[in-house]
Structure formats: C-alpha cells, structure tokens
Amino acid sequence: MKKFNIFIILFLILNISVYSQGGGDTNVSLFGSISPNSMVDEDHFSLSSHVRVDSGKNDVFSISPFICLDTNINENLNFQLWLSSKYASGDLTNGFSVGDVSFIGSYLFGDNNRSEIQQFLDFGLIISLKNGRGLKEDVDESYVTYPMEYQSSLGTLDTYLAYTLKYNAFNLSIGYQQPLISKNQNNFFPGYENFDLGSINPNYPPSNEMKRSGDAFSRVGYTFKLDNDDLSLNFGSTLFYRLKNDEYFVLYPNTSYPNKGYNEVEGTNGLAINGVFQLNYKIYEEVVISLYAGVPLIEREEYIDGLMRSYFITPGFKWSF
C-alpha cells in the first residue's frame, strides 16, 4: 500500500514538472469512469447537461453546451451518449455549430462498486457531425471556413480506450485516442482578404484538410469528501501527448506554400498538461451539480486543431431517474 501511494505521488510530480511544449483536452477527461466521481450504479438512467466556457488561441471565446444520456446494462457495464455543440466569438467572426456525437462504454471489473480498489475499462467512438467546418460563411461570393479554434469538431472519426484505477481517494486514468478516418473538411489558409488578415498571419496557421495523429492521455487526482460525502472536491491534472505533428493539405502550390500534398506543422506534437479541479455536490438523491475547471500548465509550441485553452470552466447538472 505504501508503494502504491509513492507511485501516485511520483506520477503527480511527473505530470507537473515534465518539460515539453500544453492545453489540448478533447473532452475525453469527462467521459465514463475517467471523470473521478463517476460510479456504475445498477438500474439507473440519468440526463446531464454541461456548458464549457473557455478562451482559446487568438482570444477566441467559446461557449460549448454538452448533453449526456447515461444508463447501465448491469452492475458492471455502463453506456453514455454525448452530444456537443459550440458558439465561438473572435476577431474574425462569431457563430454556432453542432459538434460531435460520442458513444462511450465503461466496464467495471469485479462486483463491488464501493470497494477500496476499483478498476474500469472505458471504450468508445467519437463521430464528427460537421467534419471540422461547421462555422462557415459566403464572403464576397467566395465560400470560406474559419480556423479550427472557431469550429465545434476536429472533423474525424475517433476511437479511444482507457484504463482507470480508483484507490480510495486517488484516481488514475491512462488511455489512447486514435483518429480512424481523417475527414476534416476545413479549408482555411491565412492571408485571404476575406479575413482582413493581410498577407500571411502566423497567428492563424493553415488547417486545410487537417490531419492529426493519435493522443496518449491521462488524468490523475485526489478527492476530498465533505458534508457527509454529499460534497466532493477533486484536484489533479490531465496529460495529452500527440505522437506526430499535425498536417495540412496544399493542392495548388504557391510562393507561400510551395510543397504540394500534406505538410507538417512543426511543434504541434508533444505534451500538453492542464491543472484541473472538479466539484460535485449532491443536492438531492437524484440531483447533482458539478463544476469542472482547468488551466494549462505546459503548452505545445503550436496548435492548428483549435484545442489551445488559456482556461476552461464547465458547470454541470445531472438528474437521475
């Protein structure tokens, strides 16, 4: 038991102190058992809503509503259906678009959901509804889409797999998210007169038909319970490591983009770490309110996927039937 506690402490220190180039949460840290206060209760059905408020790259402000339907098959197997959307506002435009639909499963090993040690296997599919170009506009008879920080989806079909260990107050999740199909149809290039950016503005890197690699991720934390366990506070961190640089596609080479085909964007791979906090408060037996918030501790050198965050705050409401 002492060795386990030492391992958790070392992992926390590693998450905070590793040097690399941070914020890219793709929302998986809310899914299934990865959320530290989730439990697999037999014979339940719940509806929850979450609204993430954040500020991203180039000070693009966004409000992203999520809806989650949650139910179980038995005392070990649980399923969630998530629907997402996003309103984005920045110096280029503002608007609303739908995002992803996510099918999430969570399997609890063993038969005691309240035991000292709990182990879960999470799995799922994340399907883009707008292919990374939900926010678009017809400007001067020219059809354009906006950079990825304005979009509500990464424009891919993803699968993910995660293992979660909960030991008393500690929670540790490790997993991997892999795009199966890169169907991103965002066609943004900087420098278009429609955006009034001038010639080439590096603050808005190209994301035309963006292609990204898989992400290894983890979430680790410690939970404090108060008020007869009705109030829980979890402090921890999330880690995302992108294995390869993101790429964009050039069909017609020019002086600014001379290489036809897919081009790598240096600095988009590597590590991103966030410090996170989650509060859950049970108002009634069937009603729980929550707050999930975070700030980047380590940032990647560059982002073209729209996942850079200077902060995020996500209040939530859950009603169990």
What pLDDT, on a 0 to 100 scale, did the predictor assign at position 192?
59
If you average pLDDT over residues 153-175, what whole number do you get? 94
| Neighbour-count burial for 165-200, b at 16+ CB within 10 Å, e otherwise | bbbeebbbbbbbbebeebbbbbbbbbeeeebebeee
b/e per residue, 289-303, with b = 16+ CB within 10 A? Answer: ebebbbebbbbbebb
Q: How far apart are CA 99 and CA 129, in angstroms?
A: 6
220 pLDDT band (50/70/90 cuts)? Answer: very high
| Residue with the larger pLDDT of the pair 318 and 132 | 318
- DSSP sequence for 31-55: SGGGSTT----SS-EEEEEEEEEEE
262 contact partners, CB below 8 Å, separation of at least 6: 211, 247, 248, 249, 250
Task: Map out the domains of the chain with their CATH numbers.
Answer: 2-320 (2.40.160.40)
- Predicted confidence at residue 6, as pLDDT, reads 38
User: In terms of pLDDT, which residue wins out, 69 or 141?
Assistant: 69
When pLDDT is averaged across residues 155-173 and rounded to a whole number, the result is 94
Measured CA to CA, the distance from residue 146 to residue 20 in angstroms comes to 29
Name which residue leads in pLDDT, 256 or 109. Answer: 109
Rounded Cα–Cα distance for residues 196 and 136 (Å): 16
The average pLDDT across 164-193 equals: 87
pLDDT of residue 22: 41
pLDDT at 9 over 50: no
Q: What is the pLDDT of residue 130?
A: 82
The CA–CA distances, whole Å, from 2 to 6, 84, 210 equal 6, 41, 46
- Cα–Cα distance, 85 to 101 (Å, whole number): 9
pLDDT at 7 over 50: no
pLDDT at 114: 63
Q: What is the CA radius of gyration of the chain?
A: 20
Look at residue 183 in the predicted model and tell me its pLDDT: 76
In the DSSP assignment, the letter for residue 176 is E
Q: What is the pLDDT, as a whole number, of residue 113?
A: 59
Q: What is the structure's pLDDT at 5?
A: 45
| Confidence class for position 3, pLDDT limits 50, 70, 90 | very low
Cβ neighbours of residue 5 closer than 8 Å, sequence gap 6 or more: none
- Model confidence, pTM: 0.86
At 26 the three-state DSSP class reads: coil
